[in-house]
C-alpha cells in the first residue's frame, strides 16, 4: 500500500506548526515503520519506498533546522541554503565556538566540549523560539534568516555530538586508530 501523502505533518498526524510534540512524532514513526516494514508487505518495493519516505519525513520533522526549512517550503517560501548570513555578531560567535571546539577536541577536553554543547543547545533553543514567533507572524524574510542560523547551529551541534562521542570512546580505553 502506497502512502497517500507527501505532507510530513499529515503523515505523522501533527498540526503544521514549528512547535511539535516530539514524543508523538517518535511514537507515530515507530508505528509507521512497523506497519510499512518490508517484512510485513506483499509489495516489497512499495514497502521500501514507504519506509524511505517515513525515515526522511521523521528526520525532517525531528530536527529544528530541517523542520523550519520544510515549513518555509510548505508556505511557498524558497530557502536558499547558499545565501550567506549577514549577521556579523552571530558569525563571530559561531567562529569562536568552532575554535573553542577544535581546541577542546585536540586536547580531548570532554568537559569543555560539554560546556560548549550546553551553550549551543541554549542558543539553539532561543533561535528556535525566534523562528516560531516570526513563522507565526508570517515574517518570511526574517524566518529565512533564522532558518539559516538554525541550519548553522544544527551543523555545529552535530560536530559537538560527534566530538563528545569520540571523546567518550577514547575514555573507554578503545583506540580506534588501531583499526584504521
Can you say whether the dihedral through the CA atoms of 2, 4, 8, 9 is positive or negative? Answer: negative
Task: Tell me the average pLDDT across 54-62.
Answer: 96
Q: What pTM was estimated for this model as a whole?
A: 0.85
Exposure string of 9-39, with b = 16+ CB inside 10 Å and e = fewer, is bebbebeeebebeeeebeebbeebeeebeee
For residues 106 and 160, membership in a common domain is answered with yes
Same domain, 44 and 102: no
CA 167 vs. chain centroid, Å, equals: 22
Q: Are residues 56 and 92 in the same domain?
A: no
pLDDT tens string 32-44 = 998 887 777 677 7
Confidence class for position 179, pLDDT limits 50, 70, 90? very low
Domain range enclosing 53? 8-62
The separation between the first and the last C-alpha atoms of the chain, rounded to the nearest angstrom, is: 44
Q: How many domains does the chain have?
A: 2
* Residue 54 within any structural domain of the chain: yes
77-88 residue pLDDT tens:
988 877 788 899
Could you tell me if residue 32 is inside a domain? yes
Amino acid at each position: 500500500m502506497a502512502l497517500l501523502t507527501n505532507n510530513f505533518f499529515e503523515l505523522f498526524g501533527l498540526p503544521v506548526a514549528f512547535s511539535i510534540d516530539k514524543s508523538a512524532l517518535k511514537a507515530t514513526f515507530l508505528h509507521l515503520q512497523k506497519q510499512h516494514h518490508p517484512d510485513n508487505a506483499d509489495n516489497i518495493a512499495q514497502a521500501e519506498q514507504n519506509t524511505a519516505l517515513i525515515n526522511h519525513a521523521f528526520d525532517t520533522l525531528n530536527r529544528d533546522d530541517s523542520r523550519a526549512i520544510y515549513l518555509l517550503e510548505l508556505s511557498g517560501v524558497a530557502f536558499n541554503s547558499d545565501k550567506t548570513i549577514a549577521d556579523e555578531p552571530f558569525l563571530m560567535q559561531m567562529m569562536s565556538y568552532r575554535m573553542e571546539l577544535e581546541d577542546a577536541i585536540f586536547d580531548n577536553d570532554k568537559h569543555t566540549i560539554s560546556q560548549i554543547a550546553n551553550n549551543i543547545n541554549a542558543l539553539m533553543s532561543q533561535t528556535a523560539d525566534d523562528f516560531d514567533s516570526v513563522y507565526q507572524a508570517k515574517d518570511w524574510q526574517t524566518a529565512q534568516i533564522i532558518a539559516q542560523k538554525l541550519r548553522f547551529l544544527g551543523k555545529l551541534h552535530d560536530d559537538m555530538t560527534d566530538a563528545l562521542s569520540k571523546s567518550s570512546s577514547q575514555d573507554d580505553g578503545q583506540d580506534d586508530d588501531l583499526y584504521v
